[in-house]
Structure 1
Amino acid sequence: MDRLDNIAKTNSLLQESLGEILTKKGYSITKSEYHKEAFGSRFVVWKNEVDKHCFRLIWDGRDSWFILEESPYVNDPEKVAWADVVIVPFDSNIDKPEYRTEVVSSITKEIE
């Protein structure tokens, strides 16, 4: 698997795992973007309308890390401010399922 496929696979696993946890807590995906021209950076946002709270998972292609952020929001699309929950460096040259599992676990444990 090449490194871009490894990033995409890990990102998908993260979205799936975080989605399962956050859906049970009343969150739903409200935005998702992919920016190939920005080193393949991408993000997805989950929002909980009742609790007025958001989570955002980012793949920072330039710095090669996954970031989970959180933010409160008011009744508009702009969040008040994003704060890091966890930052996990990712070596896209390591193509091993156990490595991907470790990355996913290190992020999901922060919101379980």
Structure 2
Amino acid sequence: MDRHEYDSTVAALNENGWTVTESRFDQEAFGSWFAVFLRGRSTFRAVWDGRNRWLFLQRKHRSWFRRKWEWRNVSVSKTPNEQSLDRLISRVGRL
């Protein structure tokens, strides 16, 4: 994924009813990026690992054991077919 795909992902999340609260693209870290987005009481984060070329979808979860909020993987997409914008939007729409 490149800067254009990052921008498209953030725009598509906003257009599909999610509120993007934080996002960052880092060209120096192999083009890695993340976007935190929410709707209602659900908070998610999409993370692109530019080095390994993996896309993570994570949900914010309250750990009662550690007494803090943590990110838990909902899915890890390792192939280009799994990493399309349409698949990401579809996946978060079902959660």
TM-score with structure 1 length normalisation? 0.61
Sort the Cα spacing of 1:29 and 1:18 in 2 relative to 1 into closer, same or farther, 3 A.
closer
Distance of 2:10 and 2:38 partners within structure 1: 14
Bigger RCO of structures 1 and 2 (CA < 8 A, at least 6 apart): 1
- State the AA in 1 paired with 2:90: K
Give the strand-richer structure, 1 or 2: 2
- State the AA in 2 paired with 1:82: W
- CA shift digits 1:54-106 (9 cap, x unpaired): 11111111111222211136xxxxx7111122222355xxxxxxx7xx71122
Greater C-alpha Rg: 1
Structure 2 residues not aligned, in runs of 5+? 63-67
C-alpha RMSD over aligned residues: 2.7
TM-score with structure 2 length normalisation? 0.69
Distance of 2:27 and 2:4 partners within structure 1: 16
Does the 8 Å contact 2:10/2:20 carry over to 1? no
Secondary structure of the 1:86 match is strand
Q: Give the number of aligned pairs.
A: 88
Q: Which of 10, 20, 23 is matched with 1:32 structurally?
A: 23
Identity %, equivalent residues: 25
Sort the Cα spacing of 1:44 and 1:34 in 2 relative to 1 into closer, same or farther, 3 A.
same
